[in-house]
Structure 1
Amino acid sequence: MTLRTLRDLPGVDDLELKAVMKPRFADPDVPEGRDEIDALSTALFGLSLEAADDTEKPTDWDRIERLSPSDMVEAFEAEGWDVTDKKRKPLRLLPHLALPLALAMRGVSGELPFLAEPDVKETDWGSNLAAEASRFRKR
Protein backbone atom coordinates (compact mmCIF):
# COMPACT_ATOMS: atom_id res chain seq x y z
CA MET A 1 0.00 0.00 0.00
CA THR A 2 1.35 3.39 -1.00
CA LEU A 3 0.98 6.08 1.63
CA ARG A 4 -0.09 9.61 0.76
CA THR A 5 2.47 12.02 2.16
CA LEU A 6 1.26 15.10 4.02
CA ARG A 7 4.51 17.01 3.46
CA ASP A 8 4.05 16.64 -0.32
CA LEU A 9 0.78 18.57 -0.31
CA PRO A 10 1.13 22.16 -1.59
CA GLY A 11 2.39 24.55 1.07
CA VAL A 12 3.07 22.01 3.83
CA ASP A 13 6.80 21.71 3.23
CA ASP A 14 7.20 25.50 3.13
CA LEU A 15 5.47 25.99 6.48
CA GLU A 16 7.32 23.01 7.94
CA LEU A 17 10.59 24.72 7.01
CA LYS A 18 9.43 27.88 8.80
CA ALA A 19 8.63 25.76 11.86
CA VAL A 20 12.10 24.21 11.77
CA MET A 21 13.77 27.61 11.48
CA LYS A 22 11.55 29.23 14.10
CA PRO A 23 10.11 26.68 16.57
CA ARG A 24 7.52 29.10 17.98
CA PHE A 25 5.95 29.18 14.51
CA ALA A 26 4.17 25.87 15.15
CA ASP A 27 4.22 25.82 18.95
CA PRO A 28 1.00 23.98 19.89
CA ASP A 29 0.29 26.38 22.77
CA VAL A 30 0.96 29.75 21.16
CA PRO A 31 1.81 29.36 17.49
CA GLU A 32 3.14 32.49 15.83
CA GLY A 33 2.13 31.08 12.49
CA ARG A 34 -1.48 30.26 13.40
CA ASP A 35 -2.91 32.44 10.63
CA GLU A 36 -0.67 30.82 8.00
CA ILE A 37 -1.38 27.33 9.32
CA ASP A 38 -5.11 28.13 9.34
CA ALA A 39 -4.92 29.35 5.73
CA LEU A 40 -3.05 26.17 4.75
CA SER A 41 -5.66 23.97 6.44
CA THR A 42 -8.44 25.81 4.64
CA ALA A 43 -6.65 25.54 1.28
CA LEU A 44 -5.88 21.84 1.67
CA PHE A 45 -8.94 20.45 3.42
CA GLY A 46 -11.61 23.16 3.08
CA LEU A 47 -11.63 23.47 6.89
CA SER A 48 -10.19 26.20 9.02
CA LEU A 49 -8.69 25.11 12.33
CA GLU A 50 -11.67 26.64 14.16
CA ALA A 51 -14.19 24.97 11.85
CA ALA A 52 -12.46 21.63 12.44
CA ASP A 53 -12.72 22.14 16.22
CA ASP A 54 -16.39 23.05 15.91
CA THR A 55 -17.27 20.07 13.69
CA GLU A 56 -19.61 17.54 15.26
CA LYS A 57 -17.61 14.32 15.64
CA PRO A 58 -19.23 10.89 15.23
CA THR A 59 -19.96 9.00 18.45
CA ASP A 60 -17.19 6.50 17.65
CA TRP A 61 -14.56 9.22 17.09
CA ASP A 62 -11.18 8.01 18.37
CA ARG A 63 -9.74 11.48 19.12
CA ILE A 64 -6.76 10.88 16.88
CA GLU A 65 -5.91 14.59 17.12
CA ARG A 66 -5.21 14.25 20.86
CA LEU A 67 -2.65 11.47 20.61
CA SER A 68 1.04 12.15 21.07
CA PRO A 69 2.77 12.99 17.79
CA SER A 70 4.49 9.59 17.62
CA ASP A 71 1.17 7.81 18.20
CA MET A 72 -0.45 10.04 15.56
CA VAL A 73 2.17 8.88 13.07
CA GLU A 74 1.18 5.25 13.65
CA ALA A 75 -2.55 6.00 13.56
CA PHE A 76 -2.34 7.99 10.32
CA GLU A 77 -0.09 5.36 8.72
CA ALA A 78 -2.74 2.76 9.50
CA GLU A 79 -5.16 4.91 7.49
CA GLY A 80 -2.80 5.45 4.55
CA TRP A 81 -1.03 8.71 5.41
CA ASP A 82 2.63 9.47 6.05
CA VAL A 83 2.72 12.47 8.41
CA THR A 84 6.47 12.52 9.00
CA ASP A 85 9.33 14.61 7.73
CA LYS A 86 12.18 13.24 5.64
CA LYS A 87 13.89 11.96 8.79
CA ARG A 88 10.72 10.03 9.77
CA LYS A 89 9.94 12.38 12.68
CA PRO A 90 6.39 13.74 13.12
CA LEU A 91 5.85 17.00 11.25
CA ARG A 92 5.94 20.05 13.48
CA LEU A 93 2.64 21.13 11.91
CA LEU A 94 1.00 17.80 12.75
CA PRO A 95 -0.66 18.90 16.01
CA HIS A 96 -2.44 21.63 14.04
CA LEU A 97 -3.29 19.68 10.88
CA ALA A 98 -4.20 16.34 12.49
CA LEU A 99 -7.85 17.16 13.13
CA PRO A 100 -8.63 18.70 9.71
CA LEU A 101 -6.80 15.82 7.99
CA ALA A 102 -8.62 13.19 10.07
CA LEU A 103 -12.02 14.78 9.44
CA ALA A 104 -11.38 15.00 5.70
CA MET A 105 -9.90 11.53 5.24
CA ARG A 106 -12.75 9.93 7.17
CA GLY A 107 -15.38 11.86 5.23
CA VAL A 108 -16.80 13.68 8.27
CA SER A 109 -16.12 17.21 7.05
CA GLY A 110 -13.97 18.98 4.51
CA GLU A 111 -12.30 17.16 1.65
CA LEU A 112 -8.93 15.75 0.71
CA PRO A 113 -6.87 17.48 -1.97
CA PHE A 114 -6.92 15.92 -5.41
CA LEU A 115 -4.14 13.42 -6.00
CA ALA A 116 -3.31 12.57 -9.57
CA GLU A 117 -2.64 8.95 -10.38
CA PRO A 118 1.09 8.26 -10.57
CA ASP A 119 2.56 8.18 -14.05
CA VAL A 120 2.60 4.68 -15.41
CA LYS A 121 5.89 3.87 -17.02
CA GLU A 122 5.24 2.75 -20.53
CA THR A 123 6.78 -0.59 -21.21
CA ASP A 124 8.65 -1.18 -24.36
CA TRP A 125 6.68 -4.30 -25.15
CA GLY A 126 7.43 -4.10 -28.85
CA SER A 127 11.19 -4.57 -28.43
CA ASN A 128 10.59 -7.27 -25.83
CA LEU A 129 8.38 -9.08 -28.30
CA ALA A 130 11.03 -8.80 -31.02
CA ALA A 131 13.68 -10.15 -28.64
CA GLU A 132 11.43 -13.07 -27.70
CA ALA A 133 10.79 -13.84 -31.39
CA SER A 134 14.51 -13.76 -32.09
CA ARG A 135 15.22 -16.18 -29.24
CA PHE A 136 12.43 -18.45 -30.47
CA ARG A 137 13.87 -18.61 -33.99
CA LYS A 138 17.30 -19.54 -32.64
CA ARG A 139 15.86 -22.62 -30.93
Structure 2
Amino acid sequence: MSQSPRMRRLIDLPGIADLEYQALLKRAWAEPDARAKFPEIDACSRAAFGLTADEAEAIPRPDGWDGIDQQSQARQIEAFEAEGWDVTDDRRKPLRMLDHFSTQLWLAIRGVAGELPFQPDDEQPDAWGASLAGDAARFRKR
Protein backbone atom coordinates (compact mmCIF):
# COMPACT_ATOMS: atom_id res chain seq x y z
CA MET A 1 0.00 0.00 0.00
CA SER A 2 1.64 3.23 -1.06
CA GLN A 3 1.60 6.27 1.14
CA SER A 4 -0.40 9.21 -0.12
CA PRO A 5 1.60 12.40 -0.60
CA ARG A 6 -0.80 14.19 1.76
CA MET A 7 -0.52 11.52 4.48
CA ARG A 8 0.67 12.95 7.79
CA ARG A 9 2.97 10.83 9.93
CA LEU A 10 2.52 10.63 13.69
CA ILE A 11 6.25 10.07 14.13
CA ASP A 12 6.95 13.44 12.47
CA LEU A 13 5.16 15.37 15.22
CA PRO A 14 7.56 17.08 17.66
CA GLY A 15 8.78 14.72 20.36
CA ILE A 16 7.17 11.53 19.04
CA ALA A 17 10.30 10.23 17.29
CA ASP A 18 12.33 10.78 20.48
CA LEU A 19 9.82 8.79 22.53
CA GLU A 20 9.71 6.07 19.88
CA TYR A 21 13.50 5.84 20.10
CA GLN A 22 13.30 5.56 23.89
CA ALA A 23 10.76 2.73 23.49
CA LEU A 24 13.11 1.00 21.08
CA LEU A 25 15.92 1.16 23.62
CA LYS A 26 13.81 0.36 26.65
CA ARG A 27 10.54 -1.53 26.26
CA ALA A 28 9.17 -0.01 29.49
CA TRP A 29 8.44 3.26 27.63
CA ALA A 30 5.78 1.52 25.52
CA GLU A 31 4.07 -0.29 28.41
CA PRO A 32 0.55 0.87 29.38
CA ASP A 33 1.69 2.22 32.77
CA ALA A 34 4.66 4.11 31.31
CA ARG A 35 2.96 7.51 31.57
CA ALA A 36 3.21 7.31 35.35
CA LYS A 37 6.93 6.57 35.16
CA PHE A 38 7.87 8.86 32.30
CA PRO A 39 6.22 12.32 32.42
CA GLU A 40 7.76 13.10 29.04
CA ILE A 41 4.96 11.10 27.42
CA ASP A 42 2.22 13.34 28.83
CA ALA A 43 4.26 16.46 28.05
CA CYS A 44 4.62 15.37 24.43
CA SER A 45 0.91 14.54 24.21
CA ARG A 46 -0.12 17.92 25.59
CA ALA A 47 2.25 19.72 23.21
CA ALA A 48 1.00 17.77 20.18
CA PHE A 49 -2.73 17.49 20.90
CA GLY A 50 -3.51 19.82 23.78
CA LEU A 51 -4.45 17.00 26.16
CA THR A 52 -2.95 13.97 27.85
CA ALA A 53 -4.07 10.37 27.47
CA ASP A 54 -5.77 10.44 30.90
CA GLU A 55 -7.68 13.60 29.96
CA ALA A 56 -8.65 12.01 26.64
CA GLU A 57 -9.99 8.91 28.40
CA ALA A 58 -12.14 11.08 30.68
CA ILE A 59 -13.83 12.93 27.80
CA PRO A 60 -17.34 11.64 27.12
CA ARG A 61 -17.73 10.26 23.61
CA PRO A 62 -20.47 11.72 21.41
CA ASP A 63 -23.52 9.71 20.43
CA GLY A 64 -22.70 7.29 17.66
CA TRP A 65 -19.02 7.00 18.60
CA ASP A 66 -17.79 3.78 16.99
CA GLY A 67 -15.18 2.92 19.65
CA ILE A 68 -12.32 3.02 17.15
CA ASP A 69 -9.96 4.05 19.94
CA GLN A 70 -10.57 0.65 21.59
CA GLN A 71 -9.97 -1.43 18.44
CA SER A 72 -6.84 -3.46 17.67
CA GLN A 73 -3.79 -1.64 16.37
CA ALA A 74 -4.21 -3.27 12.96
CA ARG A 75 -7.78 -1.96 12.66
CA GLN A 76 -6.72 1.49 13.88
CA ILE A 77 -3.86 1.68 11.38
CA GLU A 78 -6.31 1.12 8.52
CA ALA A 79 -8.74 3.67 9.96
CA PHE A 80 -5.99 6.24 10.55
CA GLU A 81 -4.83 5.83 6.94
CA ALA A 82 -8.38 6.43 5.77
CA GLU A 83 -8.24 9.71 7.72
CA GLY A 84 -4.87 10.67 6.18
CA TRP A 85 -2.57 9.64 9.03
CA ASP A 86 0.32 7.16 8.98
CA VAL A 87 0.91 5.77 12.48
CA THR A 88 3.56 3.23 11.47
CA ASP A 89 7.33 3.26 11.36
CA ASP A 90 9.46 3.09 8.22
CA ARG A 91 8.96 -0.70 8.08
CA ARG A 92 5.15 -0.27 8.24
CA LYS A 93 4.93 -1.65 11.78
CA PRO A 94 2.78 0.14 14.36
CA LEU A 95 4.68 2.69 16.39
CA ARG A 96 5.65 1.31 19.79
CA MET A 97 4.18 4.43 21.39
CA LEU A 98 0.93 4.36 19.38
CA ASP A 99 -1.23 3.28 22.33
CA HIS A 100 -0.11 6.35 24.27
CA PHE A 101 -1.32 8.74 21.54
CA SER A 102 -4.08 7.04 19.55
CA THR A 103 -7.03 8.20 21.67
CA GLN A 104 -5.90 11.84 21.61
CA LEU A 105 -5.36 11.64 17.86
CA TRP A 106 -8.83 10.13 17.29
CA LEU A 107 -10.51 12.79 19.40
CA ALA A 108 -8.65 15.55 17.58
CA ILE A 109 -9.27 14.11 14.09
CA ARG A 110 -12.98 13.86 14.78
CA GLY A 111 -13.18 17.29 16.39
CA VAL A 112 -14.35 15.99 19.77
CA ALA A 113 -11.48 17.34 21.88
CA GLY A 114 -7.89 18.47 21.61
CA GLU A 115 -6.35 19.79 18.44
CA LEU A 116 -4.29 18.63 15.52
CA PRO A 117 -0.84 20.17 15.14
CA PHE A 118 -0.56 22.80 12.44
CA GLN A 119 0.68 21.65 9.05
CA PRO A 120 1.13 23.97 6.09
CA ASP A 121 -1.05 23.11 3.11
CA ASP A 122 1.80 22.52 0.69
CA GLU A 123 5.50 22.28 1.37
CA GLN A 124 6.40 22.51 -2.33
CA PRO A 125 7.13 25.97 -3.74
CA ASP A 126 4.36 27.40 -5.85
CA ALA A 127 5.16 26.67 -9.51
CA TRP A 128 3.30 29.80 -10.59
CA GLY A 129 5.38 31.99 -8.28
CA ALA A 130 8.61 30.32 -9.36
CA SER A 131 7.71 30.88 -13.00
CA LEU A 132 6.90 34.51 -12.30
CA ALA A 133 10.24 35.02 -10.55
CA GLY A 134 12.05 33.50 -13.53
CA ASP A 135 10.16 35.75 -15.95
CA ALA A 136 11.06 38.81 -13.87
CA ALA A 137 14.74 37.85 -13.86
CA ARG A 138 14.75 37.40 -17.64
CA PHE A 139 13.01 40.76 -18.08
CA ARG A 140 15.63 42.55 -15.98
CA LYS A 141 18.43 41.07 -18.11
CA ARG A 142 17.02 42.60 -21.31
Distance 2:47 2:124 in 1: 28
8 Å CA contact retained: 1:26, 1:34: no
Taking the TM superposition and a 5 Å limit, the aligned residue runs for 1:1-139 are: 1=4, 2-28=6-32, 30-31=33-34, 33-123=37-127, 125=131
| Equivalent pair of 1:64/1:98 in contact (CA under 8 Å) | no
Amino acid at match of 2:34: P
The AA in structure 2 aligned to 1:52 is A
Displacement of 1:122 in angstroms is: 4.9
Question: RMSD value over aligned CA atoms?
Answer: 2.0
* Aligned residue in 2 for 1:137: none
CA deviation after TM superposition for structure 1 residue 118, in Å: 2.7
Letter in 2 for 1:92: R
Mark the runs of 5 or more structure 1 residues left unpaired by the alignment.
130-139
In the superposition, the TM-score normalised over structure 2's length comes to 0.80
User: Identical aligned pairs, as a percentage?
Assistant: 46
Larger radius of gyration: 1
Query: Residue type matched to 2:82 in 1?
Result: A
79-88 vs 56-65, greater mean Cα deviation: 56-65
1:7–1:13 Cα contact (<8 Å) kept: yes
Structure 2 residue identity aligned to 1:31:
A
Output the amino acid matched with 1:116: P
**1:38·1:48 contact (CA, 8 Å) conserved in 2?**
yes
Name the TM-score, length of structure 1 as normaliser.
0.82
Measured against aligned partners, the alpha-carbon deviations of 1:5-42 in whole angstroms (never above 9, x if no partner) come to: 110000000000000111111112x3265422111111
Count of aligned pairs: 127
Q: Distance in 2 between matches of 1:58 and 1:34?
A: 30
